Amino acid sequence: MPDPRIKEVAKILVEYSNEVKMGDKVIIDAPYEAAPLVKEIYRLCIQKGAYPRVNMGVQGLTKVYYDHASKEQLEHFPELALQEAKYGDAFFSIGAPSNTRELTNIDPKKLALRSKITNPISEEVLKKRWVLFYYPNNAQAQEADMSLEEFEDFVYSATMQNWEKVSKEEDKLKSILDNGKEVKIIGKNTDIKFSIEGREAVKGDGKNNMPCGEVFIAPQEKSTQGEIEFSFPAIRAGREVDGIMLKFKEGKVVEASAKKGESYLKECLEIDTGAKYLGEFGIGFNPNIQKFVKNILFDEKILGSIHLALGRAYKEGGGINESALHWDMIKDLREEGKILIDGKVIQENGKFLI
């Protein structure tokens, strides 16, 4: 018998996140392992009078592609995928990787090239209603050092919340960031500042990521000064980089080191000019996410943490940094750390003072 929580999650994704209504053209992308959730999303869309289409993926094809694709194939633009992006009104992207390290040994330059080629498709989807969710499975549970049952409890607890209430609770933090000029973060081996003047904060309240719970803003591109040591491994395409230390001057990374994966970190910083600049500063806001599970969808929402993303800025709040890279890195402030806006402490040791 399917877990009854799957129905509740599907209802949140369909009715709250994507607000599916009669006549909507709906695209559902998912691997077969997520079939129980896909069926529920599909059923709800049909009942609402929408027109859902399911693209069911085969695990391992991405690895086959990057192992064997020629430069011409990597540079080939998938016109059909763009037409589907233009056709759809609402998009569901459901992850359930059977191997979270599948792309570990793929050349990051290949990934960056493909990302640049397919960027117009991503930009088209971003104009629409869309939501990303990870269906809990054994591979993700293993990464999180949990049993499958423990990981399911974690995912559903983080997801099954009153998101209208969460959205209202984020209003005060958004207002502080909207009206702020300078952010300063102090913590273990960390003293960094940057300008957010003229930028608008965005609430992560479950409309695009689920679970969510963050408020983020794009720093002024050439304003970042100082250094920061990140608390957790930063994972990208299955590659784990730990003990990251970055030093910024006039917005740009001028020194970068890591205890593990340093060469990969430096490779990613050379992807393009924008990769060395910040595209995002986010503050975690989900009280039901307390544990690092090696999946950025969850980890960047840890209450008492902040994250900085190198590379591409989201355009909603006025950010202009362009890059094939968008790599979130997390700093835990729960034991030692402060967030200051214009000299006023708004969070200390993971607790908000607003």
- pLDDT tens by residue, 99-148: 999 999 999 889 989 988 999 999 999 999 999 999 999 999 999 999 99
* Same domain (yes/no): 267, 210: yes
Which residues lie below 8 Å from residue 34, measured CB to CB, with a gap of 6+?
94, 95, 96, 135, 137
Report whether 342 contacts 180 (CB < 8 A).
Answer: yes
Q: Which two tokens stand for residue 91?
A: 């998009």
pLDDT < 70 positions in the chain: 1
Which residues lie below 8 Å from residue 322, measured CB to CB, with a gap of 6+?
272, 274, 312, 313
What per-residue confidence (pLDDT) applies to 96? Answer: 96
Domain final position from 159, 192, 220: 159
* Same domain (yes/no): 238, 149: no
* Same domain (yes/no): 131, 244: no
* Same domain (yes/no): 130, 257: no
What per-residue confidence (pLDDT) applies to 2? Answer: 78
Domain final position from 137, 159, 181: 159
* Same domain (yes/no): 305, 328: yes
**What is the CB-side half-sphere exposure of residue 353 using CA atoms within 13 A?**
12
DSSP helix/strand/coil, 322: coil
C-alpha distance from residue 110 to each of 46, 105, 266, 294 (Å): 39, 11, 16, 23
C-alpha distance from residue 87 to each of 14, 29, 124, 231, 335 (Å): 18, 14, 10, 42, 48
Please report, for the domain that includes residue 131, its CATH number: 3.40.1830.10
* DSSP string for 123-190: HHHHTSEEEEEE---HHHHHHTT--HHHHHHHHHHHHSS-HHHHHHHHHHHHHHHHH--EEEEEETTE
Number of domains in the chain: 2
* Same domain (yes/no): 214, 271: yes
Cα–Cα nearest to 327, from 205, 256, 213, 237: 237
* Same domain (yes/no): 123, 53: yes
Range of the domain at 312: 163-352
* Same domain (yes/no): 328, 194: yes
Report whether 30 contacts 38 (CB < 8 A).
Answer: yes
- pLDDT tens by residue, 5-27: 999 999 999 999 999 999 999 99
* Same domain (yes/no): 84, 144: yes
* Same domain (yes/no): 278, 216: yes
* Same domain (yes/no): 221, 337: yes
State the amino acid at position 27 in one-letter form.
Answer: I
Cα–Cα nearest to 294, from 116, 100, 95, 71: 100
Domain final position from 94, 127, 159: 159
Report the predicted TM-score, pTM, of the whole model to 2 decimal places: 0.92
* Same domain (yes/no): 112, 228: no
Phi, psi of 243 (to 5 degrees): 70, 40
